Amino acid sequence: MTRKILFLCALYLFPAFCHAGTQFIENFGAYPDDGYDDTDQIQAALDSGDTIYFSDGVYLIDSNLSTNNPASINSVFLAQNDQMATIKSSNADGNIINLKYFKGMDKFTFDNVRLRVHGISGSGVERRVRWNEFINMNSGTWCISLDRAASVPYNINIYQNHFQGCHYAVAGYAAHSAIQYNTSNNGVQRHIWMSGADNVKINNNRVTGGVVGVGFPCRDNGSDISSNTIKNNILNDISEEGISFDMQGNNQNSCSRWFSEVLGWDVDSSGDVDTLFVEGDAGNLLDIDTPSAVVVFVDSANANKGTIYEVTGKGVSNGPFSGKPYINIADGPASSDIQAGYQFIVLSIAVKDNQIIDNQINNTGRTAIGLHGAGINTLISGNTIDSCNTPPDDNQIWGGIVLRNINNALATKGGHGPVFFNTVSSNTLKGQGCDIKAFNLNYTGSAVFYSIGNSKQYNTLLDSADDSYWLDQE
């Protein structure tokens, strides 16, 4: 039952806090531990544009809440004492607080209540979710979602939260953000699961249980997974993979989605190629998102093999190759270095320039660190890996550190996943099955390209760990 209470600012009860811009939740008629529903009262507080303090105790809600008032962009919602104010859903499936305009959501216990952080177009203001605890999540999904429906969340700081039994602790999309110093225990599925991430720091987290510790499922949605740092995390007792970049995440379409060959080209004023006329289905090409797409040549005879060119435009030719697709590329090769028939891969998600460094990964069921058809110029260095428990019948697929160059994995869009120019250096691996591997995996038909430029050096292998299965091919 929702009560309707008119309540004046508690000048006599809380003189230190009753000033413009700061209020207590009681000012809006919400009282802890009284057994009444506080949904309307808390929503009024979130809309006020003020910083709101919550007194110790339990506040019940039965509907979703939101911070949609732009006046709240500098508002902080926080408990007076660490995790002593609990926002609890009275619904079995839980409720969501949609966070758009806010500065901080700090120090709460969320009992079957999830947070969805929305992007704000054109806003670089820091927004933070800190020092919270998430318990009793019955909804079978995420605890914190980073939602890009309007815009990719930017400058988000998810710091020192504790997640207990979440299916996904943090999931979604972010740019120039940080997920740091969190703990996640007894995860049901994946702890940190980023479908898009650009310049995100995932550092110093502590994870136990679950299927994947830190994962990046590559999907055909135009989202970059680039320039991220995964550092100083401790991952224990993960049933499948500790840290994973995976073109086959959740069986979505592939990370690299189009394979073709050159028919002809145009050059710019400097004599460098700026347009490729290509063979293939124009519909597939026009479905590629730019500018996140890149072209990678794969021919062994091509001097530009492995070179990455940014796709800046696309269309269907009305000129010399009428009806055929064309691709505009930036800083293309010299015209003398290209020939008709040269083959290439188009990656519609740029999975590149990521760093996986100084992590501790213990007791994984399949792979401690894996690049599965997704990774260009990745640095894997300084990690300590122990007890991989690699399944014996999958010994050529899983291991300690695995780089899998993938051909023809999925039925749609070709399913090709290049793994090029990655460095595995100065890691320590211990135990049988904790091997370092690089290989080319072809699911159906003949391979269209092979991995190139991957290197391993200065790694320490202990107690039967091995690095002999390394099939990088030029």
Contact call for residues 291 and 310 (beta carbons, < 8 A): yes
Predicted local distance difference test score (pLDDT) of residue 396: 66
Over residues 227-238, the pLDDT tens digits come to 999 999 999 999
pLDDT mean over 247-251: 53
Over residues 27-47, the pLDDT tens digits come to 999 999 999 999 999 999 999
Over residues 62-78, the pLDDT tens digits come to 999 999 999 999 999 99
Over residues 141-181, the pLDDT tens digits come to 899 999 998 889 999 999 999 999 899 999 999 999 999 99
**39-43, 117-121, 223-227, 256-260: range with lowest mean pLDDT:** 256-260
Please say if the pLDDT value at position 16 is more than 70: no
DSSP 270-326: TSBEEEEEE-S-HHHHHTS-TTT-EEEE--TT-TTTT-EEEEEEEEE-SSTTTTSEE
Q: What percent of the chain is modeled with pLDDT above 90?
A: 53
Over residues 266-309, the pLDDT tens digits come to 999 888 999 999 887 666 666 666 556 778 887 767 777 777 78
pLDDT mean over 361-372: 93
Please say if the pLDDT value at position 412 is more than 50: no
Q: CA 461, CA 465: separation in Å to the nearest integer? A: 5
Q: What is the 3-state secondary structure (H, E, C) of 187-226?
A: ECCEEEEEEEEEEEEEECCEEEECCEEEEEECCCCCCCEE
Q: What percent of the chain is modeled with pLDDT above 70?
A: 82
Contact call for residues 254 and 290 (beta carbons, < 8 A): no
Share the mean pLDDT of the chain.
85
State phi, psi for 39 to the nearest 5 degrees.
Answer: -55, -55
Model-level pTM greater than 0.75?
A: yes
Q: CA 230, CA 369: separation in Å to the nearest integer? A: 11
Give the range with max mean pLDDT: 189-203, 207-221, 330-344.
Answer: 189-203
Specify the higher pLDDT residue, 122 or 359.
Answer: 359
Please say if the pLDDT value at position 25 is more than 80: yes
